[in-house]
Structure 1
Amino acid sequence: MYTFSNRLKTFSIALMIIGAIGVVIGFMTSHKSFEEVEAIVAAESAHHGGGHDAEAAHVAPAASHDTHAAEGHAGEEVHHEDAHKKHIEHVQHQIANRPWSALYVAAFFFMMIALGALAFYAIQFAAQAGWSPVLFRVMEGITAYLLPGAIIVVLIGVASGTIGHYNLFVWMDPEVVAHDKLIQGKAGWLNTWGFAIRGFIFIAGWSLYRHFARKFSIAQDNADDNKNFKKSFRISAAFLVFYIYTESMMSWDWIMSVDPHWFSTLFGWYVFASMFVSAITVIAMITLYLKNKGLLPFVNDSHLHDLAKFMFGISIFWTYLWFSQFMLIWYSNIPEEVTYFVTRLEDYKLPFLGMVAMNFLFPLLLLMNSDYKRIPWFVVMAGVVILAGHYLDIFNMIMPATVGDRWFIGIPEIGSILLFGGLFIFVVFTALTKAPLLAKGNPYIKESEHFHY
């Protein structure tokens, strides 16, 4: 049985503490007064050679104009001051959004790894796969993070609409909804109670499957028959049906609704691909870590090769979905659809194009060769690039709608990654100590131990 080393435990706790400090600093520095934001905008305008403040100099009425003209210019000036005030308040709102958004991106990223691992685990049972049972306890350890991780995501979403004054989801703001016909039309779905109730249903369904699958898996270790395995097979098949529906709805609620004026029929599949490849990558990396410690002697190069094949294949699948979504929307050039990508290409060019390179070009070049898939350090290197790329993918989904062009990867973002990364390591490796690392009662375990490709 695996023992959670004091060194790793200390490391995970240190990550959480450092991350929490970073998050607190992010929130403390995001609360800026109207005057502070106005000074920031004025400095930016001066740096770029004008802007709102420069335009203001040209709207004052000339003394030689007649009274009617002066009144017209006075009205223009009032209108300009109104627009200027709204612009400053908008920027102030975006700056305040940043720590909430950074926290949400990191929370969702680690939650989706656990959810993707649960789906991959269920697929192995439903397909009665013979190669993967030696990896089941690693998958079960990763899925232990799903319940706390998903609850945290929902709590951040709801808290941002109460404590944070509608920072993440504009449809939670009654004033916005009152003046927005499109959001009003979606109010039957996009409302705080609906968001919370659906979140509870999603989490309850996922967690119940994880609980019983884990229970049957451990019970099978000491069983004389395959009853527990058959139960796992049946509930896995049922769970996959539940999962494919709830994963799509979750992606609409928890990600796509940050920008309620935009939608994509491919979005659920797109998020699934990102989730799936990230989960398989983490399974591979934790497996390699444990094998390096001498704790998984039954895992061989063929298991690593198959995990790396999945990393490669799902990366190509993700690219297919990304290109399908991008190309169809860009080519049709419908204003309310294409604005999603225009915003990202104008304000997020580096993370947007960098994400595509990291999620497609790097896996393609690093993992195409079959021999490289069997080299541990090579798989780890590819895995680090893939995980960083898919963090940027979630970053690109959330940030443009919540912080606009006020994005930066700094203390709030790094602090959030460290906080949830530390929590993820702590929960996962604690779960790995609760049962033997070999699911010895699985009927396919001998086939898995002697798997060669």
Structure 2
Amino acid sequence: MAHHNTIEEKFEFGGTAKTWSLVAIVIGVICIAAGFIMGGEHVQTTYSNLLLMSYYFVCVCTCGVFFMAYQYVAQAGWSASVIRVPQAFAKVLPIASVILIIVVTLGLINTHEVVEHGKKEMVPYLYAHWATHGLTDPASENYDPIIAGKAPFLNIPFFFGMLVVLLAAYSYFGWALTKASNDEDSEGGMRNYDKSFKLSCIFLVIFGFTFPIFAFGTIMSLEAHWFSTMFGWYNLAAMHVVGLAIMALTIVLLQKKGHFTWVTENHLHDFGKLIFGFSIFWTYVWFAQFFLTWYANMPEESVYFYKRWEPEYKWWFWLNIVLNFLAPLLLLMSRDAKRLMNRMVLTCIVLIIGHWLDYYLMVMPGTVEEGTMNIGKSIVEELGTFIGFAGLFTFCMLTALSKFSSLVPKKHPFLQESLHHHI
């Protein structure tokens, strides 16, 4: 990687970072293949881990679009000099979207035999709770009146249509905002900034109404008898926190390699405030969802948390709160803590792991046969899939970052405010 000290800097992706990201991808491919080759319950856990990580991948990239949009709508100045990083996230979103759609498709069309209520039946590896044959047919012995009532939403054509349309829309807005920023550098003036403002307003309205639907379909429908109106906002908070953590970590690590030399403790402070604030919001939604379910004590609702209190999950259930609430609370509460580079790196790493665990607890109990799953039991699939997707994201994101003519949008109207940011 080349080292520069001016805002004319163009990032060059190569060297150790490129090598290790490719190694991570290879490790991921080998471990995923091993999960399928080992057969049995390993195939199910491999599909589940692929869904977990492809959803994680999409959420992180979507956060890049979301971050850009609310920065433009707020007319924020502090972020102008680091906006290339979320733009790089947004440029990777189409790749992440295709991978998620492929994983979902394979999980739906491939089936395996399970024993339910003393009888054998063939069910898909993913979304078996609503996609198993006969669940909506009154003449079938598999008929489920609850699933039949949800069939207008939980059916394969609508499900794929929802995924494709929403991911295409999010990808389009990411592309359009990034293009407007590039055009701004070549044309100057306020036209492209004004265009970005309008696009961001439209995106935020669409995103606010549709992201909960995306979370309902992709993750909540894994346990189709259960529902929570707070689940979409819970996922939105998780997506935002982990996306911010990876953005901040990317900027800090690149700065340590000689890039983003204009980034100061004041920029870190703003990232720290957002990470801290939305970690608290995530906790608020998590607790509200949990507490209201516990207090109501209705079997059709409490079954979701009952599963997560089984011995194989209960310890991780409470660790989830420690990592995603207690850790950022203690690490980032004070003003000075948000301005310490090493403290920020530690917090970001904890949250990246913590929200992997959060997604794990959303996915695994609804996909893996009860009593056969525990973190560590299928370490090949879990760790290998995480490493592979981390390598793929790093490779794609840094490649996208290297395509910009400079690491700074040189004609952004608030660039000078960002370069001289002080709080």
| One-letter amino acid of the counterpart of residue 344, structure 1 | R
Highest CA radius of gyration, 1 or 2?
A: 1
Q: What residue number does 1:185 align with? A: 149
Matching residue of 1:425: 394
Q: Distance in 1 between matches of 2:351 and 2:397?
A: 20
The equivalent position to 2:34 in structure 1, one of 22, 25, 34, is 25
Contact 1:30/1:98 (<8 A) preserved: no
Q: In 2, Cα distance between the equivalents of 1:408 and 1:164?
A: 22
Pair 1:363 & 2:328 matched: yes
**Contact residue 313 and residue 374 of structure 2 kept, 8 A:** no
Name the residue aligned to 1:172.
131
Change in CA separation of 1:181 and 1:95 when aligned onto 2, cut-off 3 Å: farther
Identical-pair percentage = 37
C-alpha distance in 1 between matches for 2:192 and 2:43: 51
C-alpha displacement of 1:381: 0.6
| Runs (5+) with no aligned partner, structure 1 | 32-93
Alignment partner of 2:371 out of 405, 408, 413: 405
1:95 Cα deviation (Å)?
5.3
* Partner Cα separation in structure 2 for residue 407 and residue 299 of structure 1: 44
Preserved CA contact (<8 Å) 2:90 2:175: no
1:211 Cα shift?
A: 1.1
Shift of 1:154: 1.9
Matched residues in 1 for 2:366 and 2:223: separation?
6
What secondary structure is seen at the aligned counterpart in 1 of 2:110?
coil
Amino acid at match of 1:175: G
1:224–1:217 distance in 2 versus 1, CA, 3 Å: closer
2:64 counterpart of 1:117: yes
Displacement over 4 Å in runs of 4+? none
How do 1:58-137 residues align onto structure 2 when only pairs under 5 Å count?
A: 96-137=43-84
Q: Deviation per CA, 1:112-146, whole angstroms, max 9, x where unpaired?
A: 11112211111001111011111110111122221
1:247 corresponds, among 201, 211, 222, to: 211
2:88 to 111, 117, 141: 141
Instruction: Tell me: CA distance 1:267–1:257, structure 2 relative to 1, closer, same or farther (3 Å).
Output: same
Which amino acid is the alignment partner of residue 167 of structure 1?
Y
1:447 to 400, 417, 422: 417
Letter in 1 for 2:126: L
Structure 1 counterpart of 2:350, one-letter code: V
Aligned-partner residue type, residue 192 of structure 2: N
- Kept in 2, the 8 Å contact 1:147–1:207? The answer is yes
- CA separation of 1:17/1:224 partners in 2, compared to 1, >3 Å: closer, same or farther? closer
Greater shift in the superposed pair: 175-184 or 103-112: 175-184
Read off the aligned partner of 1:408 and give its amino acid letter.
N
Asked whether the equivalents of residues 180 and 196 of structure 2 are also in contact (C-alpha less than 8 Å), the reply is yes
Instruction: Give the whole-Å Cα distance in 2 for the aligned partners of 1:260 and 1:446.
Output: 51
Partner deviation per Cα, 1:173-210 (whole Å, 9 max, x = no partner): 11344421111111111111111111111111111111
1:35-72, CA deviations, whole angstroms, 9 ceiling, x for partnerless residues? xxxxxxxxxxxxxxxxxxxxxxxxxxxxxxxxxxxxxx
* Alpha-carbon separation, structure 2, partners of 1:137 and 1:96: 39
**CA distance in structure 2 between the aligned counterparts of 1:163 and 1:406, rounded to whole angstroms:** 20
1:387 CA drift (Å) = 0.9
Letter matched to residue 397 of structure 1: M
Any gaps of 5 or more consecutive residues in structure 2? 1-9, 113-123, 138-142
- Counterpart in 2 of 1:325? 289
- Given candidates 302, 305, 313, the residue that maps to 1:348 is 313
How far off is 1:369 after superposition?
1.7
Instruction: Specify the alignment match of 2:230 in structure 1.
Output: 266
The answer as to 2:280 corresponding to 1:316 is yes
Q: Amino acid of the residue matched to residue 16 of structure 1?
A: I
In 2, Cα distance between equivalents of 1:293 and 1:9: 14
Q: In 1, are the aligned partners of 2:230 and 2:285 still within 8 Å (CA)? A: yes
Corresponding residue for residue 353 of structure 2 = 388
Partner letter of residue 86 of structure 2? M
C-alpha RMSD of matched pairs (Å): 1.2
* 1:264-303 equivalences in 2 (<5 Å): 264-303=228-267
1:164 Cα deviation after fit: 4.0
SS of match in other structure, 1:189: coil
CA distance in 2, matches of 1:139, 1:309: 17
Single out whichever of 384-393 and 175-184 deviates more from structure 2. 175-184
Name the residue aligned to 2:384: 415
